[in-house]
Structure 1
Amino acid sequence: MKQSDDEKKEKRKYFISVAGEKCEITKEIYEVFYRMDRRERYLEERDFKKGVIIFSDMKRNYCSAEGIIPDKNTDIETEVINKVLMETVLEAISILNEEEKWLIQELFFFEKSQRQLSKETGLPLMTISNRKKRVLEKLRKYLKIEK
């Protein structure tokens, strides 16, 4: 006698990783956990698109506070050049699709290695490497940068 899809779903076990160990949990807790996880990632992606930097996350995710707080000794010309460069980079990133933006964010803003990203996502290392090359080439062409 074959099991229906509903019966299979009922017997499915749900796990989350806690401190590096897999823990079995109920379906309800699993759904809430991943809904909250996805919401957090969505908010981080939205903040990234808008250029929002959370002060408490500066060192871990983006850069040091010194890089954000303006130096009173810097001349206005340098500030304008830096602002134009930042706007140019953000504009270039805006041409990317969501998957490409995510990849750039993980590799360059969150400073994850390709190997680490491979482990987290389950994608082969070469897939991540090839996608990175394609995205960087796309940005290079958009910014008209020669190799």
Structure 2
Amino acid sequence: MLENKKYTIVVKSSCVEVSEAAYHAYHKAREAERYQYKLIHQCELSLERFQKDGVNVEYAAIRFESRIEDKIIEQEQLQKLWLALQALSVEEQLLIHELFFNDKSERKLAVELGVPRMTLNDRK
């Protein structure tokens, strides 16, 4: 004898009968939400969490603060990169822009430019 299994979910403090597909979709979404909350909680930096976990706030602030020296070095490197890019020919700039800034594949760009992929790779 086949048993008709009933599927219910709680909506605003009331049990509501739903189809099996809706039941599984609901619980799948709930599990995904719990997982996302867990990830967010792991990355959360708050005074309340530090106090609850017994973490020294000054230590945490120093640990996560980016150093001014690192920021200056990064800015200098970006300036040098920008100057190097400006020194390239228009064709070389196009190649770099399409491959690295627009994430275009070598294969696709080679087709668009009408050159063999290996030639494009060598130019890169």
TM-score, normalised via structure 1 length: 0.39
- Greater C-alpha radius of gyration: 2
